[in-house]
Each structure stands twice: as structure tokens, then as C-alpha cells.
Structure 1
Amino acid sequence: MGVDTALIWAVIILIGVMLYVIADGFDLGVGLLFPFVPSEGHRNRMMASVAPIWDGNETWLVLGGAGLMAAFPLAYAVVLSALYLPIVLMLIGLILRGVAFEARAKSSDHSRHLWDKAFFGGSLMASFFQGVILGAYISGIDVQDGRFAGGPLDWVSSFSLFCGAALTAAYALLGSTWLILKTDGYLQYRMRDLTKPLVWLLSVFIFAVSIWTPLAHEAIAERWFSLPNLYWLTPLPVLTALTCLLLLRSVEYGEAMPFVMTLVVMTLGFLGLGISLWPNVIPPSISIWQASSPASSQGFALVGALLIMPIILTYSAWSYYVFRGKVKAEDGYH
């Protein structure tokens, strides 16, 4: 029996996207929280908490995109055609955020507030449009004869905009719990204060999306609520609810635990998304096998992916280890 290279590539891309959402999510969240921390010194600490690692976090986004192009070219062509505008807007946000990150350190006291606003605006754009892309992807893409057959604004819907707001809240929660871990004193207290309402807000978003999605898509409802699937899948939402409660309890005194619990919530949400859509790479009906490139091409690219992934994991883990511990007031980020 031959190796199912399409399945292996699907797993690699899923892992890459999940790691991007988790890793880049908290540094986008730090930018989202800028308006809630007006002090210049505290904003410097917030920047310093992500400065050594934020560039490396986006490696996973590149890996996911490159993997999709190499392994599932049909999906790459259709998804980019359908979601071209929100993807461009997301990239503009990332560019604006990156420029603001660097320019802020060199700016004068008089102009620094402009770069603070740019950093927040870029973080908001990137976060919101990533959620919009996700919502539009879940809603399904019209494909005919192997091509995108919809219009340029098909991605605009109440569900996709709602998902944009939901992912923004999730990233803000990742950012606040990251700062609980990395800071102390007033800034940590402020993050604890912000985290509690963010947990409740994200819980409402998770509940709403969990109800909205099966109501809008019969196939997803069948996946979750038919027997015996219901017995096997019920523990997932129950575990998500319990994790949110543990997160709330840990906010008052925990340091690492709030961030860990937030990571668990994000992972469970990603797992639920995967269960809902599997095995389709272009919802609602094109599977990973229908969209895959020839097995020989996938196998060739797989060798490179299996070589590069351990390197990425190693330098990422080393960066987090080297820059572990609290960020102090005197620490700069350049």
C-alpha cells in the first residue's frame, strides 16, 4: 500500500496554520491592546516582550502558503482567487504593523504616537481580515470546472465579518495572557483586568459560531449531531467550556497558566474547525485528494518540508528559551 502524500501534506499544513495562529496571534494581540495602555514606558515593555520572536512567528504563515501551493495547487488557485481582497488587506495590515514596529523605535517623542496608532491599526487589520478569510472559507467557495466561479465580494457576509470580530477577540486574549506571563507590576495587573472580559467575550463568540455554523451548513450539522458522531464529539465542546472556566480562575493569581489555558482553547477551536471541514480543502465539497498535485510532486516537496520543519521548530524553541523570563522596564526592544 502506497504512502498517502496528500494526507501527510494536509497534516503539515494544518499544523503550520495552527502554529501561526498561536504564535503570531499573541504578538498581534499585543498590538491590539495598545489603546488600553497609554503609558509610553509600558508600551515599550509590551513591544519588548515580542521583539525577539515576532519575525520568526510569521515563518509558519509562509510554510502554510507554500505548502498549499505545492501540494494542493487547485486549492491555492481557487482560494486566492476567491479571497484575494481580504488577503491583500491582511498583508497591508502586516506590512503597516512591521513598519510601525521598526519606525517607532527611531521616531521622535513628538511623532511616536503616530507609529503607536499605526502599530495598533496594522494589528487590527491583520487580525480582523484573518478572521474574515476564515469565515468566508468556512462558508464555502463556488467552484466550476476547476475555477473560482463567484464574484469579487462573495467573501463579504455577516458570518465572515462576525468571524473577523471573533478572531480579533481571540488574539487580544492571547496578547493579554502573554503579557501576564512576561510582565509584572502595574502592567501585569492591567492585563489581568483586561483578560477577564476578554474570556467572556471569546466564550460568547465561540458559542455563537458553534451554533451558527451547523445551522448554516447541513453537512457540518450532520457531522456533529448524527449518531454515533455525537457521542464521540461531545467531549470537545465540554472540554472547551471547562478550559474557559479554568482560564477565568487562573487569571487572578496565575502567571503561565492563563496563557497555557488560552493556547488550549485556541487548539480546541482549531480542532473543532478541522472536524467540521474534513476532508475538504475547498469547502463545501472538494477534498484534499481531488485538489492534490501528482503524488510524485508531493513526495518531492515533502522531502524539503520534512527537512525544514525541524529547523524551524528548533530555532523557534531556542528563541523562546533564550528570551524567557520577565521583560523589565529598562529593557529596550532594539
Structure 2
Amino acid sequence: MRRFARTLVTAALAAALVAGTAGWASADAQTAVTGPPPGTAAWRADTVSGRPLPDPARAAPAEVARFFAGLDASRARALVRAHPLVVGNLDGAPLPLRYEANRLAVTANGEPRFAPLAAPGRQILAFDPRGRGTVAEVFGDLERTAHIAVIVPGSDNDATTYDRARAAHTGPAYTRPAQTGPSHTGPSGMARSLRSATGETAAVIAWTGYTTPVGVGLDTARGRLARAGAVRLARFTDGLDAVGAPDPVLFCHSYGSVVCGLAARHTDATDIVAFGSPGMRADSVGGLGTGARVWAARGPSDWISDVPNVQFAGLGHGADPTSAAFGARRIDAADVAGHAGYFTPGTRSLKAFAAIATGTAR
């Protein structure tokens, strides 16, 4: 009888999650971008001195790294020019080649919505124009840094909204694009703010490398997009390892924390930070299956606290990472405003994030 009662309570909470969240019915279901990048068929048909090229769908990043280590500079650059979309997204390929390949890929794509990504000085580590577009950008010197942070954002982020600010103080509508320009709330703004807070001693990657939910709808309550994103995030971190980069710290915001929770056991992250999180698809830190230190933060006015921490019939993402029972290390976020204000300069959360990113947090 008690088990039946608990089931009814859980069902009621799940129903509240669906019915009580503003903007639910207006959200659009998304098709996850998966598999190798456009141009893979031509890449597979090509060779170098009669040798086949590593298959983007099957070759491990370490295998890709060994392949490029055996090429001279002229052959490597020829592959960049012939197959920019493949090289630019090929985890394990040398970083300078990926930056150049993605500049060419964005320029060749010709769509105005992606044009800002080709601006001089930008270090685009991944770019895929399919769907709404995915992108990853590096801030700092990834080849020489001792510390790497990877920011994994949540809903409504893609290659076109990536540089835009978000309203830091409002409810679920926070995810809709606001004005363009410098900000600490969009993925690139979060990365810039964190890098500045570390005294520019850490390289920071804004990784909008998966198909995120749009609005606050069924996609945000389900794990479908997060599971696809987790596969891509795990391969991305394997790619960093393959080129000799330090083990990263993952900073996971909102739905991005669901992605990180599912990817945790498959990455070599030293630390995983969940903030503004609806849950990580685990009951506790132990359930994540990772040796990383796990941290959690939630601001006092973050609307995510109104989302029930349940999993029922495929809806919801489980336990609150800031709860004592979950077992994560708590981050002071008492001065954070809203759902997107965690990287606001001067906040305790940003100071803590910087310490974690540089390995000085205890």
C-alpha cells in the first residue's frame, strides 16, 4: 500500500512538472544532431599516399591523433582545404588545423547567421551547420595551459544564439534570446567571464556541441537530447586527451547538467560542477560513476527550484544535486540572481568557479 501511495505522489509531481511550467505547450520538439559531420562520405573516399583516412564515425580520437602525427604539414593542410567540415569536427586532430578548418567551413557555408563565428581571432574548435547549428569555441591557449574548463549550457543554445545574452533574473522565459553583445549569461559570455575570473590562467571552452531543447517543454523534461549530447561530450573530452590537453573541469548549467550527469562516467574530468540543475539522472554522486569531484550550486531566486526532482515515466531528471542526500560539494550562490546569473562578476559563485577551474578549491 505504501509503495502504491509513493507511486501516486510521484505521478502527481510528474504531472505538476508538465502542467505547471510556463511556456510548456509552445516548445518545439527537436531532432538531435548525431553521427559524423557533413562531408564524411567524400572524406572516406579520399586517401593520403594510398592510405585510408580515419573514419570520423569509428576511429577513436587517439587513432586520429596518431594519423595526423604521421603527416607532414603540406598534406595536413591539403586535408583542411579539401574537407574543412570533417577536419574541424574531428576529435583528436591538431588544434591549429581545427581552428583553420572551421574558419573555412563557416566562410564556405555562406549563411549570415553563422558569419560572426568566422571573425578574426576566434578559435572555433567545432562547427556543424546541421539543424540549428552546434559550435565550440576556445578562449585562451589550449595547447599551453595547465587548466581547462568546459562550459556545457542548457536550453535554447545553438550556433546562432551562442553569443547572445540571456535575461538573468526572470522565470522560464529566460532562455529566449535577448540582446546581442557582451554578457556573462550566454555560453560565450560565461566562458569569457570565467576566464577573466581565473586571471586568464585557465583556458575555457564554450561547448554548445549538442542539440539543446527549445523553450521549456517536453524535451527539457526528458533525457532524449541529453543522452545524445552525452555521447558527443564524452568523445569531445576524449579528443582533448588525445592532443595532450589537461583533464578538464566541466561546468554544467541547467539542462547541460543532465548531459554532464549522463556523460560523467565516460569522461576524465577532474571536477564536475552542476548549477541551476533540474537533476543529473542519478540519485547521488555515487550513481554518476565518476572519480571526479562533484560540486553543486543553486541561487535563492533560481526558478529551477520550482521543478520537482522526480523521475517518472521518462519525465524528470531525479535528485536535486544541491541536496545533502546527493552528496555533492556545495558552492555558495547566495548572491546569484535568477537562473542565469552564476557568472556575474563579483559573485561568490564565480569566485568559487574560478578556484575550481584552476585547481585551488578545497
Normalising to structure 1: TM-score of the pair? 0.28
Normalising to structure 2: TM-score of the pair? 0.26
From the two aligned structures, give the one with the greater helix fraction: 1
From the two aligned structures, give the one with the greater strand fraction: 2
